[in-house]
Amino acid sequence: MFLLKEKFTIRNRVVLITGAARGIGLAVARKVKAKGGIPVCIDLASEDLDRLAVELGDSALVAACDVSDAAGMQAIVDLAVELYGGISVVVANAGIERIDPSLNMPAEDFERVLEVNVLGVYRTIKPALEHVVKRKGHIVGVSSVSALVPWPLCAAYGASKAFVGSFMRSLRMELAGTGATAGAVYFGYIDTDMMKRSTGKTVVSELFYRIPSFGLGLKPRSPEFAADKIIRNIEKRSAAEFSHFDVKSTFILRGLAQLFDDMTARRTGISQVIRKHYAEENRKQQEQ
C-alpha cells in the first residue's frame, strides 16, 4: 500500500534562493512570493538584483553575496533567521559555466566553476541546514542533464552538476527521520542568458549538430517552466524532478549509456570538432 505524502505548503515559509537576480532564480523568487512565501534572494551585486529588491519590496530580503563566500552566506542566513525566525526551504540555484576543452581552459576558469557550483552549493546549504531541519523543510539542488552524460568542453560544469545530484541523494538519506527532505532538479535546455551565451559559440553549435539529441532535453523551456519544476519538487518533497521526459529517461539509463561513450565520441566526430577549433591554440602550447 502506498502512503501519500502531505503536500508541503510554501505559504508563510522562508525560502532562500541563490542566483535570484535573473533567469530561473528570478522566476522562483516571483513564484514563491505569489504563493505567499517569503523569498530570501541572493546573487552578485547588479542592477538586476537592485530591481528585484524594488519589485519584492518589504516582503522579501534581497542581499548581494558570492555563494562561494562562506562567511558572507553565513551572515545572510543569520540575518534571515533574525528577521523571520528561521528558514524552511533552500533553493541552491546559483551556477556558472565556462566553455573550453580541459586542455585549453585556464586553470582559474575550471576551478572557478567548481568553486561556485560545488563549494557554493555547500556553502549555501550548510549554514541553513539546521534551520531547515528544525522546521522540517526541504532543500533543492539545481542539477543538469550534464550530470548524466559526458559534456565535451564543459567538463567542470558537468562534474559540478554531478556533485549536486549526488549531494542531494546523500543528504536526503541523512535527513531521513528528521521530517526534513532534499531533492534535485535535472534541467535540459532552459532559455536563460547563460544558455544563450553557451549555444551562441560556434564550436558548441557544431557539437549540438553532431551529437545525438535524444536524452539531452534540447527543446527549449522557459525559466518560468523550470521554476515550476522547482516549486513542484518543494511541494511534493520529491527526490528528483526533470525538465524534459527524455532527461528523465537519461537519468534512468545513464549506467547503460556510459558503456557507449567511446562509440558516441567516434561516430559523432567530437574530436575532429575540437581539433578544428583549437588546433592553433594547441600548436602554440606544444611549441612553448
The parent domain of residue 123 ranges over 14-193+216-255
Calculate the CA 80 to chain-centre distance.
22
Distance CA 260, CA 266 (A): 10
CATH number for 127 = 3.40.50.720
pLDDT tens for each residue of 175-198? 999 999 999 999 998 988 887 787
Q: What percent of the chain has pLDDT over 70?
A: 91
Residue 236 lies in a domain: yes
Distance CA 244, CA 252 (A): 13
pLDDT tens for each residue of 48-66? 999 999 999 999 999 999 9
What is the pTM for the complete model shown?
0.88
Query: Given this model, what pLDDT does residue 1 score?
Result: 35
* Residues counted in the chain: 288
Structural domain tally of the chain?
1
| Catalytic residue flag (residue 157) | yes
Distance CA 171, CA 132 (A): 12
Residue 211 has pLDDT above 70, yes or no: no
Q: Cell triple for residue 230?
A: 522547482
Residue 204 lies in a domain: no
Alpha helices in the chain (DSSP H): 23-34, 47-56, 70-84, 107-114, 120-134, 155-174, 193-199, 202-210, 223-236, 245-257, 261-268, 270-287
Calculate the CA 190 to chain-centre distance.
11
Active-site choice (122, 157, 189, 278)? 157
Query: Given this model, what pLDDT does residue 2 score?
Result: 40
